[in-house]
Structure 1
């Protein structure tokens, strides 16, 4: 037994010596656990640790078990990041071995697509939740909507294609449904221009591009026609990504405008007429809402997280709003999403607000990746 163990150790040393494996350390500096969280490792770091890396023969291993991963391109030919889904306790670290070998199949946990059969919808989902935004074909129709929509799902399976094909997703057949009402509002965390003390809605996207599509992260970009308000012309594009296991999408809004000063904008959540918990946590950058229960359909929580602290917030125009300012050519980054109580993961306003505050803390204390020798 000792002889076999010694041979294994010698083989490992030999493999490392000839560049057939490398070890990375990922540290969680925060005070909350990272549970099945997608961690982004720059590809340059991988190449530094493992110069002979072969993307067709790459295994990522933790404690002898393969770890699910994705090679992220972000719309480019070259690989940009290695994405891994791992769990790390607060103030703790894990080690991942990169070695040569045929990787195991990774089942897709995220997905996005253009939906031409439903008036240019663009929809995206992961193993927790699903979303959609509306395209130009919906403009002018009586059922037009501006903001972001959220679909309530209680399955870890990907459902977009099936639900659109069945065209009966406003009823719950055991996996969830779409009952969230958007209309001519910001819906579940969209963004608009804020001029003359009013929300100027951006309307619907004109073109789309998929940058990555799973298995652990899906990313797409949509662009909008230029529009003019109060003599100011605004041109906008959004890059949206969703990670496996997360309740929130990352939204990066690139804005070009002709205003002489930084342009005021608002990201927000539409509010219902009934009283229900609303959180305006300016200090931590969390805007959150626990909707009134919708009959037998249950309750949806909606929230936004802003990495920049001390964001002014207000309740106005039947919205919870966070006020932002951007110079022309800058990008606003925030996170938005939701949770459904019938999914039995987050079942109360307290649990939802706690999740968002922990998420905000994790954005301020991201995992640290180092190469070990």
Structure 2
């Protein structure tokens, strides 16, 4: 009898060790999170469902499987479970897990190195597309420094198709690339600011893809050491884009010899014709609704900063946000855009509203917690 109770107790302990707990995702803010990609740290998943296996894991909302991604951030092990969800203001939703084949998910983000176009690196989601320029453009008359934005009006991934057709400066029904970068910061890139002038970081040298969809794509680019006014600067950027978002997350790491925080600017190039420029220093929002570009329509560009008040100004045909970074540390901000012909953000006011809501979500993110 004593052995029987010992076995019974051991079995109960084993069941308890593998007991599943739900994961609550709470929106404490007054802003709705719509089709947001939510990070659930992998240790949190294991705490809720200890037998979690990436090849046999279903994420359930209301008993129905939810598409997900196992984010590895360039490592062999899973760092986060990503799910795309909508959470209303002051709402809590509950996820559960069970063994089973993961729900099918459509690729909504993508990034790649583009050697066939002078070392471009391009990335996109179901809303918008971007590119930056590589070392093969150095010294060419068509060189460009800043970030480029492609105007899309399809939720399909188009990078490979457009590069293959090599006719993306015309709109064939999916959008086009008409945004002009040149030797500027373009659509929200970053530069060193010394002696009252913008010092451009130039073109990236190496690249590495860390994750490539379906819900988030992340890559890292490094730049050759560059000397600005006698100060040597080494720059690395880690850029990620979520499904459903108009903005990329940009983490800039710098090693430099300045001896104190290095002055930087994130900037948006301004057109000669009148446009709408918003410098919201208090909330860290730099926004620009460009003048209409003929039949091509209008692009809005914006940057959202994660840390409080940011000094801003109009200077050197740019809208500029003044920031600084100590050597060996990072700064994080978001940059991106929207095109009125996509039919979702069709005015300067709508663009400003989107960026303001995005800023509020950064300041009051969704809370993820294992329920008892």
TM-score category (smaller protein): over 0.9
Residue of structure 2 equivalent to 1:141: 140
Please report how far the alpha carbon of residue 19 of structure 1 lies from its aligned counterpart in structure 2 after TM superposition: 2.8
Q: Secondary structure at the match of 2:74?
A: coil
Q: Secondary structure at the match of 1:228?
A: strand
Q: Secondary structure at the match of 1:361?
A: helix
Residue of structure 1 equivalent to 2:333: 334
Residue of structure 1 equivalent to 2:12: none
| Matched-pair contact (CA < 8 Å) for 2:17–2:50 | no
Q: Secondary structure at the match of 2:104?
A: coil
Partners of 2:66 and 2:282 in 1: how far apart? 36
Please report how far the alpha carbon of residue 234 of structure 1 lies from its aligned counterpart in structure 2 after TM superposition: 0.3
Deviations 1:220-272 (A, max 9, x none): 00000000011100000000000000000000000000011211000010000
Residue of structure 2 equivalent to 1:324: 323
- Coordinate RMSD, CA, aligned: 1.2
2:311 is equivalent to residue 282 of structure 1: no
Partners of 1:343 and 1:99 in 2: how far apart? 38
Partners of 1:110 and 1:166 in 2: how far apart? 20
Residue of structure 1 equivalent to 2:342: 343
Residue of structure 1 equivalent to 2:56: 57
| Matched-pair contact (CA < 8 Å) for 2:218–2:240 | yes
Residue of structure 1 equivalent to 2:255: 256
Partners of 2:365 and 2:260 in 1: how far apart? 32
| Matched-pair contact (CA < 8 Å) for 1:43–1:82 | yes
1:279-318 alignment, distance < 5 Å: 279-318=278-317
| Matched-pair contact (CA < 8 Å) for 2:72–2:211 | yes
Q: Secondary structure at the match of 2:146?
A: coil
Residue of structure 1 equivalent to 2:123: 124
Partners of 2:171 and 2:191 in 1: how far apart? 32
Partners of 2:20 and 2:175 in 1: how far apart? 44
Residue of structure 2 equivalent to 1:224: 223
Q: Secondary structure at the match of 2:291?
A: coil
Q: Secondary structure at the match of 1:85?
A: strand
Residue of structure 2 equivalent to 1:12: none
Q: Secondary structure at the match of 1:352?
A: helix
| Matched-pair contact (CA < 8 Å) for 2:150–2:177 | yes
Deviations 1:68-92 (A, max 9, x none): 1100000011110001100000111
| TM-score, normalised with respect to structure 1 | 0.95
Partners of 2:77 and 2:117 in 1: how far apart? 33
Q: Secondary structure at the match of 2:149?
A: strand
Please report how far the alpha carbon of residue 49 of structure 1 lies from its aligned counterpart in structure 2 after TM superposition: 1.1
1:130-279 alignment, distance < 5 Å: 130-279=129-278
Corresponding pairs, count: 359
Please report how far the alpha carbon of residue 104 of structure 1 lies from its aligned counterpart in structure 2 after TM superposition: 2.0
Partners of 2:205 and 2:48 in 1: how far apart? 42
Residue of structure 1 equivalent to 2:102: 103
Residue of structure 2 equivalent to 1:10: none
Please report how far the alpha carbon of residue 106 of structure 1 lies from its aligned counterpart in structure 2 after TM superposition: 0.8
Partners of 2:182 and 2:328 in 1: how far apart? 29
Residue of structure 2 equivalent to 1:11: none
Residue of structure 2 equivalent to 1:26: 25
Partners of 2:128 and 2:120 in 1: how far apart? 17
| Matched-pair contact (CA < 8 Å) for 2:113–2:122 | yes
Partners of 2:295 and 2:20 in 1: how far apart? 54
2:84 is equivalent to residue 82 of structure 1: no
